[in-house]
């Protein structure tokens, strides 16, 4: 029952977050010469330059990334990502017909819009979903690098590089003011996201204390292709235990939690890691 309630809240969180994000883009950011970041920014840029319908551009740009997420990152994540993107796209079409106007300076409007966008995306990420293809792309790149090298990588630099290309395109193809306003959106939105998600782009250390370390470590290796460090530990009540330490990224964390929940009898902590030195 608890897992069903948790799943229902996850779907609700993704829905509300996607609607908040689409409201911010249509009613605040675009009217004030700013755009979203990531693949949503690419779609908005294409729509502005071509005159094509915005929601159709978003759907077309998101589609290949969603397919990759579904195939590579798993069915659960893929379903959440598809639903979030569908609600976001529908919201872009819906909010075009909502009369809303901020009678304030562009700067304040963009800060307010970026905060609402960040709040919406935070809800989606905390619910285990994602609507932006750049995050899916960065996650896939990081996963592939980790598989080839055996090291854990942060998504930060990939996301910064991706968005730098988006804003450079805005600077060259639209104008300087639009690029600067859009950069401000990125700074405000990511600040809000990092506040509520504990820096989702960073590496996460999962520490698990359990008696059945072998079964859990094998399932983590099979499901996530991750290895664990196993150490002896001792509790004052439970006595002798094993402590497993594993490193994952934010989008792998829900699957890790599912694996731990299925095995039961484990005490788990998750912390954010700035850097791993080998």
Is there a single domain that holds both residue 42 and residue 142? yes
Is there a single domain that holds both residue 223 and residue 149? no
- Looking at the structure of the chain, the number of domains it has is 2
Q: Rounded distance, CA 69 to CA 137, Å?
A: 8
Is there a single domain that holds both residue 218 and residue 188? no
Indicate the residue among 197, 231, 258 that finishes a domain. Answer: 197
Is there a single domain that holds both residue 220 and residue 180? no
Indicate the residue among 175, 197, 219 that finishes a domain. Answer: 197
Is there a single domain that holds both residue 105 and residue 221? no
Is there a single domain that holds both residue 190 and residue 220? no
**pLDDT one digit per residue (tens) for the chain, 278 residues:** 556 676 788 899 999 999 999 999 999 999 988 888 889 999 999 999 998 999 999 999 999 988 887 877 777 888 888 899 999 999 999 998 888 877 778 888 899 999 999 999 999 988 888 888 888 888 888 777 777 776 767 787 888 888 899 999 999 988 888 888 989 999 999 899 888 887 777 888 999 998 888 888 888 888 888 888 888 887 776 778 889 999 888 878 878 888 888 877 788 999 988 777 66
Is there a single domain that holds both residue 109 and residue 189? yes
User: Contact, 38 vs 135, CB < 8 A?
Assistant: yes
| Residue 248, domain extent | 203-273
Q: Rounded distance, CA 186 to CA 234, Å?
A: 46
> Which residues fall within 8 angstroms of residue 209, CB to CB, at 6 or more apart?
233, 235, 241, 242, 243, 244, 266, 267, 268
Is there a single domain that holds both residue 74 and residue 108? yes
Q: Rounded distance, CA 247 to CA 253, Å?
A: 9
Is there a single domain that holds both residue 220 and residue 170? no
């Amino acid at each position: 029952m608890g897992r069903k309630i948790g799943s229902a809240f996850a779907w609700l969180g993704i829905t509300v977050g996607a609607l908040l994000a689409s409201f911010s883009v249509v009613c605040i950011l675009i009217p004030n010469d700013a755009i979203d970041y990531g693949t949503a920014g690419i779609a908005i840029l294409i729509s502005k330059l071509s005159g094509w319908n915005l929601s159709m551009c978003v759907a077309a740009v998101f589609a290949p990334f969603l397919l990759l997420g579904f195939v590579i990152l798993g069915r659960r994540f893929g379903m959440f990502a598809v639903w979030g993107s569908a609600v976001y796209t529908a919201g872009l079409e819906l909010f075009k017909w909502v009369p809303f106007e901020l009678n304030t300076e562009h700067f304040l409007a963009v800060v307010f819009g970026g905060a609402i966008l960040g709040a919406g995306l935070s809800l989606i990420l905390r619910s285990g979903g994602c609507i932006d293809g750049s995050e899916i792309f960065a996650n896939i790149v990081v996963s592939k690098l980790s598989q080839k090298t055996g090291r854990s990588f942060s998504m930060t630099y990939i996301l910064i590089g991706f968005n730098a290309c988006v804003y450079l395109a805005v600077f060259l193809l639209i104008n300087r003011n639009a690029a600067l306003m859009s950069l401000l959106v990125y700074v405000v939105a990511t600040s809000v996201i990092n506040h509520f998600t504990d820096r989702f782009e960073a590496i996460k250390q999962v520490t698990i204390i359990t008696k059945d370390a072998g079964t859990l470590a094998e399932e983590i290796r099979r499901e996530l292709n991750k290895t664990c460090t196993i150490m002896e530990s001792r509790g004052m009540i439970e006595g002798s235990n094993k402590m497993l330490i594993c490193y994952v990224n934010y989008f792998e964390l829900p699957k890790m939690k599912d694996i731990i929940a299925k095995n039961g009898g484990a005490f788990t902590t998750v912390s954010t890691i700035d850097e791993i030195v080998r």
